[in-house]
Amino acid sequence: MHTIGLDIGGTKIAAGLVTEGGRVVRTVRRETPANDVTAIEDAAADAVAELVAEHDVEAVGVAAAGFVGVDRSTIVFAPNLAWRDEPMGRDLEARTGLPVVVENDANAAAWGEFRHGAGRDIEDMVLVTVGTGLGGGVVTDGRLLRGHAGFAAELGHVRVVPDGHRCGCGNRGCWEQYASGRALVREARELASTDSPMAARLLELADGKPERIEGPHVTQAAEEGDPAAIELLADLGRWLGEGLASIVAVLDPAVIVVGGGVSAAGDLLLQPTRAAFRRQLTARGYRPEPRIVPALLGNDAGVIGAADLARLR
């Protein structure tokens, strides 16, 4: 029997019907406003209803961009959405008539990569998702690390710059303010706003307006060989690699999997990440060095992981 995975972000819901082997056999999408909790639940329930109408489904897993409690039902807090002590699991069970498991979106993606992606055949891995923000998920000894309150592995909110850029979580200087798509766009727009000739290609892709520059513009320009775009991705990679070295000092994984939308830049991001990581790795030269590899499941990781966690509830 199938399970459904819902990956709920700030602007859209991706829903997938997933087999026991981790194959997504059908997907649907819904738009959803970040600041309307009821609209999010309406859209999620509607997506489930569309999939259930065509297939037998045993449970639903939700990958949510927020802090999920140990009950695996309540979204306690979300830095970039309106969820505050929101009983998402209970509400969706009432709406759908199916068992619902809620998990942090990066945790769900980590579980998906561990079970069916780049982390197969190992027991200890870390996933970082470099998207709009910076998410994290940790599997240790074959188990998803959740912690005492269920909030473990919020890697993007490790503070790396005291009194640095303000973060959506309320603090300043969080890692995701320097190693994320948001950071990449901020730096690209700042460069373009100086009228520097270095930003000519970025401006061309954004119709001459710095405020229209987005992450895919930077990646496209870098793939074309644009020096400024290559440097912007290298700067992001340095922040990412140095932070990963600190994470490895604590967790000692065998593999670090890098996913999220910005990871589409491939080696333009991963090569500077690996170089910075090796420079900062504790006991370098005397320890097994974790591999840094791209995620394999792409945008389906959260859907697949959430569906698998629902199956294993």
DSSP string, 186-215: HHHHHHHHTT-GGGHHHHHHTTT-GGG--H
* Residue percentage of the chain with pLDDT more than 70: 100
Name the burial class of residue 1, with classes exposed (0-12), middle (13-18) and buried (19+) by CB atoms within 10 angstroms of its CB.
exposed
Model confidence over 39-51: pLDDT tens digits? 899 999 999 999 9
Whether residue 61 lies inside any domain: the answer is: yes
Both 187 and 254 in one domain: the answer is yes
| Closest to 121 (Cα-Cα) out of 147, 139, 136, 105 | 139
Both 222 and 307 in one domain: the answer is no
Whether residue 228 lies inside any domain: the answer is: yes
Model confidence over 33-89: pLDDT tens digits? 778 888 899 999 999 999 999 899 999 999 998 899 999 999 999 877 788 999 999
Contact 105, 64 (CB under 8 A): yes
Both 134 and 250 in one domain: the answer is yes
Model confidence over 103-126: pLDDT tens digits? 999 999 999 999 999 999 899 999
pLDDT at 303 over 90: yes
Please state the rounded mean pLDDT for residues 287-313: 95
Both 230 and 276 in one domain: the answer is yes
Whether residue 116 lies inside any domain: the answer is: no
Cα 71 from Cα 147, distance rounded (Å) = 12
Predicted local distance difference test score (pLDDT) of residue 79: 74
Q: How many residues appear in the chain?
A: 313
Both 191 and 246 in one domain: the answer is yes
Range of the domain at 39: 2-111+300-311
Secondary element (H or E) of residue 37 = helix 37-52
Model confidence over 116-157: pLDDT tens digits? 999 998 999 999 999 888 999 999 999 999 999 988 999 999
pLDDT at 31 over 90: no
Predicted local distance difference test score (pLDDT) of residue 44: 95
Model confidence over 235-269: pLDDT tens digits? 999 999 999 999 999 999 999 999 999 999 999 99
DSSP tag of 110: H
Total number of domains constituting the chain: 2
Predicted local distance difference test score (pLDDT) of residue 11: 76
Both 137 and 263 in one domain: the answer is yes
Name the burial class of residue 87, with classes exposed (0-12), middle (13-18) and buried (19+) by CB atoms within 10 angstroms of its CB.
middle
Contact 229, 206 (CB under 8 A): no
Both 125 and 47 in one domain: the answer is no
Whether residue 202 lies inside any domain: the answer is: yes
Chain mean position to CA 134: 6
CATH number of the domain bearing residue 10? 3.30.420.40
Phi-psi region of 113 (alpha: psi -120 to 50; beta: other; left: phi over 0): alpha
Cα 94 from Cα 79, distance rounded (Å) = 26
